[in-house]
Structure 1
Amino acid sequence: MDAGQLKGRTGLARILNATGYSMAGLKAAFTGEAAFRQLVLINLVLIPLAFWLDVTRAERAILVGVVFLGLIVEILNSAIEAAVDRISLDIHPLAKRAKDMGSAAQFLALSLIALVWSTILL
């Protein structure tokens, strides 16, 4: 089956296919990316902590949301790296720029986590 046939699906079949692809992506991130596994561990600590803390519901939602954002950015960063590496493993200025920008996005996401958590807790 080619990509055109898959994209032509509608309704529940399309949702099921998309869910399967998403689960495969999460599995690939968890098994293949140490940074993603580390962020999952951080989430396993911070999310229960967010529910234990005496904060408003809005603050709790923000605390949980930013740690999920870290996971999302790490998946996107890993996807950029995989796509660049698929094209070529040769060192090229554009490949370096793409990888560096993905890394910078993750740095900003982690900085946001630290900023939000420290602002709400302090």
Structure 2
Amino acid sequence: MNPKTPRNEIARLAYATRNSLKGYGRVFRDEAAFRMQFAVLIVAVPVALWLAQSWFQFAVLVASWALVLVAELGNSSIEAAVDRIGHEQHDLAGKAKDAGSAMVMTAMLIAALVWAAVIVDRLT
């Protein structure tokens, strides 16, 4: 356990929440892709409200794009850890970064599939 981590459960939750918010802030500040995908989410929410025929569809539409943000957070974590080790070319570093990129792409494909399914459902 980190010596800075509080032992009290509520204090530990508050400590973890502060670290999570700091993580959001850092990624938002440092990663243009995350900012762009967050902007898409801001636009997607009202579009999803209009498009969805139920609250369930709305939740699935928004969650599918939120998954893209989760993947981008993971990708940013991988890139930061790999860059911390060094900037020289290494096959494993490339493999890690490529896998992180593939994670984001997979999340985007899932979101596209979900949105397409809801659009088709609305049109039929």
| TM value normalised by structure 1 | 0.92
Q: Say how many residue pairs are matched.
A: 120
Alignment of 1:39-54 (within 5 A): 39-54=37-52
The aligned counterpart of 1:6 is 4
Unpaired segments ≥5 residues, structure 1? none
> How far, CA to CA, are the matches of 2:26 and 2:74 in structure 1?
12
Amino acid at match of 2:67: L
Query: Could you tell me how far 1:8 is from its partner in structure 2?
Result: 5.0
Amino acid at match of 2:2: G
The structure 2 residue matched to 1:118, chosen from 76, 92, 116, is 116
The superposition leaves residues 10-57 of structure 1 with CA deviations (integer Å, 9 ceiling, x where unpaired) of 311101111110111000111000000000110000012112224122
The aligned counterpart of 1:108 is 106
The aligned counterpart of 2:53 is 55
Amino acid at match of 1:37: R
> How far, CA to CA, are the matches of 1:4 and 1:104 in structure 2?
32
Task: Report the secondary structure of 1:4's partner residue.
Answer: coil
The superposition leaves residues 44-87 of structure 1 with CA deviations (integer Å, 9 ceiling, x where unpaired) of 00012112224122211110111111101001001000000001
> How far, CA to CA, are the matches of 2:52 and 2:3 in structure 1?
51
Task: Report the secondary structure of 1:18's partner residue.
Answer: helix
Query: Could you tell me how far 1:88 is from its partner in structure 2?
Result: 1.2
Unpaired segments ≥5 residues, structure 2? none
CA change 1:8–1:17 in 2 (3 A) is closer
| TM value normalised by structure 2 | 0.91
The structure 2 residue matched to 1:73, chosen from 71, 74, 86, is 71
> How far, CA to CA, are the matches of 1:103 and 1:72 in structure 2?
12
> How far, CA to CA, are the matches of 1:14 and 1:94 in structure 2?
35
The aligned counterpart of 2:17 is 19
Root mean square deviation of aligned Cα: 1.2
The aligned counterpart of 1:93 is 91
